Chains A and B, each alone.
Chain A
């Protein structure tokens, strides 16, 4: 089962521009995470924001979370060609501690950064 939607599905920008991706989800969550995937290989964890947090920064990444609207956004500033990848939001909604997570992914955004 999939958690929600991401938009846009595809985004093409020039190097140096900012990229914003949005994610909506349906159920209550413990945290929301963003991942990057290059060329259909493994996913790389970018950032995690907990349900009681509203904004988080990590380097060129800024994530916001609005639990009342069940939505999140990822901003990548000063983009580079190396940022070209698929970006996925994922929500973790484990109900029982000590039993691992239950990470469910959104549909993803394909980002293309042109030199």
Chain B
């Protein structure tokens, strides 16, 4: 299995709703990532998990809450979002570099297209 699976593919939510985005991989990758991408813009890094621990939070507002319950799953919990949070949310995974092997490529999921109304 060489895929990252994201669900749902589309999500419409109100500003008072609570919802979650899910991401799953079975490649044995121990680093997982959340990115946000607005239309015609590059992906922006939100969170990095390594060995199920949060290692990078790129100053993301607390209305986005990540969770990594095990080595295969990554969730993004959403609460009290704003319309400007509407975007494509991408999950990715990669191997972890123990020594200086120069890093690894990332495998991305197809994304969840989120609309906040």
Contacts and interface: CB of A to CB of B under 8 A. Distances in A.
B97 A98 contact: yes
B81 interface: no
Among A45, A51, A101, A108: residue with most chain B CB under 10 A: A101
Interface residues of B, number: 38
Contact of B39 (A2, A40, A98): A40
B115 interface: no
A78 interface: no
Contact of B103 (A1, A30, A42, A106): A30
Interface string B26-42: 00001111000101011
A104 interface: yes
Contact of A101 (B58, B88, B104, B108): B104
A102 interface: yes
Contact of B105 (A1, A33, A42): A33
B107 interface: yes
Given A42-B90, A50-B102, A104-B45, 15 more contacts: A1-B58, A2-B42, A42-B109, A42-B111, A51-B102, A98-B50, A98-B96, A99-B31, A99-B96, A100-B48, A100-B96, A101-B33, A102-B56, A103-B45, A103-B106
